[in-house]
Structure 1
Amino acid sequence: MMNITRRAVLAASLMLGLLPNVALAHDDQHEIIHLMKGMFDTPENPLSVEPVVVVGDNAIAGWVQGERGGRALLWRVDGQWKIRLCSGDSLKDPKLLESANISASDAATLAAQLAAEESKLDPAVLAKFSSFEGTMMIDPEAGHQGHKHGSSTSP
């Protein structure tokens, strides 16, 4: 009986030690979804953001809006998430992520986490992510309003 109690206490201690990290990752995901929806979501053309993977101060988020989709590369600047660029399949490549000044280890981790999360998605959603052609740089200084002008509100 003593072994079970010790194991239970050890397991509970480990879980409690991990909970802050899990909570922080969830908060980051929520902030990123909120940011992207605030910038691009409209009642007539809602934005879906999933998956969101976060490693340190970098993240990749998949998005779908109507028949379009893609992936966004984000970074945390002064505690705030900002979109750096939008692209398609190129954001699955750790070498491209490294060229965006992400460390090799973080780039590899981001790519691996993205692959794991995307493996759970419907192939039709993945096809929309892949349909984004080229790379669209986002001006982090433009703020939310800077991206709403023009005929397209998609990322």
Structure 2
Amino acid sequence: MLPRYKYKNGEFILIRNKKSSTNIALSFIFGMAVASTSATVQADDNTSHQQIKAIISSTYDKPDHKVETTPIAVIDDYAVADWTQGQRGGRALLHRSNGKWIIMACGADGLKEVKTLTEAGIPDQTAKSLVTQLTSAEKSVSPDRLKQFSLFGTKDDPAAHEHHHHQ
């Protein structure tokens, strides 16, 4: 059914029958439900991101070298967070258990491989979504910082060249 208009007081006014008013009301309610759900998911992601940054910082920050944790991909109860600390960098794999994020492992590029994530116990679809989300988020990262995420645990990791004194 095509909409009908009438001209009144210098403007066109849409004439609605009961059916179209009901459809508009239902569309509005559905739209509000979608917007509300979207806002809730975004709020949950923001909360997760803050919790993940806090756990990584409290675990690894040093007075003269704070950890910068971003970007972070979160799917369900799993996350992969990119981090840098001075010249070092890598990725952390996290799992949410009883509402708290726990660091499962630190690594480099392996934490962007679906196979590695599924071997760590992450469901296949969740692993694929994490890799997709992180890859997309990393597109906004500078090339130099992106290289740092690949260093952890490799021969190029600055920590691999530090001299440790034995006592």
Q: Same fold (TM over 0.5)?
A: yes
Q: Structure 1 residue 8: deviation in Å?
A: 5.8
Determine the C-alpha separation between the residues in 1 that align with 2:37 and 2:66.
Answer: 37
Percent identical across equivalent pairs? Answer: 31
Specify the structure having the higher radius of gyration (Cα): 2
Which of 76, 87, 94 in structure 2 is aligned with 1:74? 94
Determine the C-alpha separation between the residues in 2 that align with 1:58 and 1:81.
Answer: 9
Which of 20, 27, 30 in structure 1 is aligned with 2:47? 27
* 1:16 to 2:36 alignment: yes
Q: Deviations over 1:60-117 (max 9, x none)?
A: 0000000000000000122210101000000110011000011110000000001000
Q: Structure 1 residue 10: deviation in Å?
A: 4.7
Query: Which consecutive unaligned segments of at least 5 residues does structure 1 have?
Result: 135-150
Which of 123, 131, 138 in structure 2 is aligned with 1:111? 131
Structure 1 segments, 4+ long, off by >6 Å, are: none
What's the TM-score, normalizing by structure 2? Answer: 0.73
Determine the C-alpha separation between the residues in 1 that align with 2:80 and 2:127.
Answer: 10
User: What is the aligned partner in structure 2 of residue 91 from structure 1?
Assistant: 111
Q: Structure 1 residue 14: deviation in Å?
A: 2.0
Question: What secondary structure does 2:72 align onto?
Answer: strand
Determine the C-alpha separation between the residues in 1 that align with 2:28 and 2:147.
Answer: 45
Bigger relative contact order (CA 8 A; separation at least 6): 1
- Number of aligned residues: 135
Q: Which amino acid aligns with 2:41?
A: N
Q: Structure 1 residue 9: deviation in Å?
A: 5.7
Determine the C-alpha separation between the residues in 2 that align with 1:78 and 1:9.
Answer: 33
RMSD over aligned Cα, in angstroms? 2.0
User: What is the aligned partner in structure 2 of residue 120 from structure 1?
Assistant: 140
Q: Which amino acid aligns with 2:121?
A: N
Q: Which amino acid aligns with 1:100?
A: A
Determine the C-alpha separation between the residues in 2 that align with 1:18 and 1:111.
Answer: 21
Determine the C-alpha separation between the residues in 2 that align with 1:19 and 1:125.
Answer: 30
What's the TM-score, normalizing by structure 1? Answer: 0.79
Q: Structure 1 residue 43: deviation in Å?
A: 2.9
